[in-house]
Structure 1
């Protein structure tokens, strides 16, 4: 179900959060997207992270969405992928910083550049 957002806001990677989602994870996802110089826009809905990511992708003119559910699962969807086939799906429940890597990779998907590897990115996060 596509959410109505302005055309300006739709020119971003949309993050769809479930009520009760860990805001530390949501903030890290948004930070990762914006650090890649791509705008992010936050909406809310209900469902699992896959359903939320699909809502987000359908709401974005860029065709890329990120879903964050209350269980800490973060999913990236692309509008060209089959409905139940995420680009990436990871649990960030034990480590909200993983959200930043997911956000950066969502932006990199849009930019058409290689994803950050979790091991390398996690080492960089741990060394901050």
Structure 2
């Protein structure tokens, strides 16, 4: 990994082809909590870049962070790691869907709250799940009506 950071007292964020809106929201969440961050573009670990690589990248980020907290973002996947956890067990591992972009901000907030030793915000937004279920049922109902014609 390319590491050109100036080693500030901050949360280290490693990125590899992140979705811009997700990166912006994660950083905004940390900013809301008043926690500084540093973004470092990572080099590709292998050709497939799966969840294991994302976890490894987050762990490397937390080892380089003076706060002991690291975040890795690849496309729409985010991992948050803490130095006191085992490498293969990140604190947060989440694929952020387009309809739940607010979750990315909450992930950033929670990374900041980890450092401040504050309770986490719930990233499982029940409203989004209810909306998705409502849309699913509506689509099925419309398709069944069309099939009956």
What is the TM-score normalised by the length of structure 2? 0.72
What is the TM-score normalised by the length of structure 1? 0.82
- 1:122–1:51: structure 2 CA closer, same or farther, 3 Å change rule? farther
2:10 is the counterpart of 1:12:
yes
Partner of 2:3: 3
Shift of 1:121: 9.5
2:26 is the counterpart of 1:29:
yes
For these two proteins, the number of residue pairs brought into alignment is: 119
Partner of 2:36: 39
> Does the 8 A contact of 1:74 with 1:91 survive in 2?
yes
Please, which runs of 5 or more residues in structure 2 have no aligned partner? 46-52, 129-149
Shift of 1:49: 2.2
- 1:3–1:58: structure 2 CA closer, same or farther, 3 Å change rule? farther
CA distance in 1, matches of 2:126, 2:84: 27
Partner of 2:61: 56
CA distance in 2, matches of 1:80, 1:122: 33
| Secondary structure in structure 1 of the residue aligned to 2:40 | strand
Shift of 1:4: 4.7
Partner of 2:94: 90
> Does the 8 A contact of 1:57 with 1:77 survive in 2?
yes
Please, which runs of 5 or more residues in structure 1 have no aligned partner? 124-128
Correspondence 1:107-122 to 2 at 5 A: 107-119=112-124
Shift of 1:93: 3.5
CA distance in 1, matches of 2:103, 2:110: 11
Higher percent of residues as helix: 2
